[in-house]
Amino acid sequence: MTTTIEAAPAVPTSSDTDDLFAPETSGLSLTLQDFVTEFGDELLDSLNRANPPVYDGIPRPSRQLVLAGLKRKLFSAQAEIVHAAAELLINEGERAAIVNGEMGTGKTTVGIALAAVLNAEGYRRTLVLSPPHLVYKWRREILETVAGAKVWVLNGPDTLIKLIKLREQLGVPANSQEFFVLGRVRMRMGFHWKPVFT
């Protein structure tokens, strides 16, 4: 009995196959950098047509006055973020705005300033959901930024009792801007809601 074994064809070892991950050199391919250089303006125009900017870079004077009246002055980039978020929330009627930035860029200050702008538009109470270790930082920053603000810290074993007492006072109109700072972990520790079915 004879067994025949055939070997696989040899792979040529030319310089063309040395690097399997080398980019193709056909005339139909572009690098990403070349693509963006070539078509970037058209892509940006198309993106702006599909998703027009909400904020055009021209702040509303009434909101400028609110920011000017804060005890802590914002950097111009922070003020632009406040104006853009206010435009989105107030004028566009969106329910949320996301402010993303590196640590130390002033996201807390931007949030507080935005709450002050919203207060001037008629929103009297602001709920802040914060990591537990930042609750008192929020309180301190609010008091250092907004003149006459009332800050309620709801972050301890008596949080639910405080919430029940505050619920009784909700019918009382706010005579100054009020902030309720709640450690987000407390939200899952219990509640006083009743189920809609039994």
Rounded distance between C-alpha atoms, residue 63 and residue 79, angstroms: 10
What is the predicted pLDDT for the residue at 97?
95
What is the predicted pLDDT for the residue at 84?
97
What is the predicted pLDDT for the residue at 30?
85
Provide CB contacts within 8 A for 148, sequence distance 6+.
Answer: 176, 177
- Confidence category of residue 22, pLDDT binned at 50, 70, 90: low
What is the predicted pLDDT for the residue at 168?
75
Does position 147 have pLDDT exceeding 80, yes or no? yes
Give the start-to-end residue ranges of the domains of the chain: 53-123, 124-193
What is the predicted pLDDT for the residue at 45?
92
Question: What φ, ψ does residue 94 adopt, rounded to 5°?
Answer: -70, 155
How far from the centroid of its chain's Cα atoms is residue 192's Cα? Answer: 30
Higher local confidence (pLDDT), 198 or 76: 76
What is the predicted pLDDT for the residue at 194?
56
Does position 195 have pLDDT exceeding 90, yes or no? no
Query: 97-142: per-residue pLDDT in tens?
Result: 999 999 999 999 999 999 999 999 999 889 999 888 899 999 999 9
Tell me the torsion sign for CA atoms 41, 47, 49, 54. Answer: negative
Secondary structure, 3-state, 39-65: HHHHHHHHHHHHCCCCCCCCCCHHHHH
Rounded distance between C-alpha atoms, residue 79 and residue 66, angstroms: 11
Query: 28-60: per-residue pLDDT in tens?
Result: 788 899 999 999 999 999 998 998 889 999 999
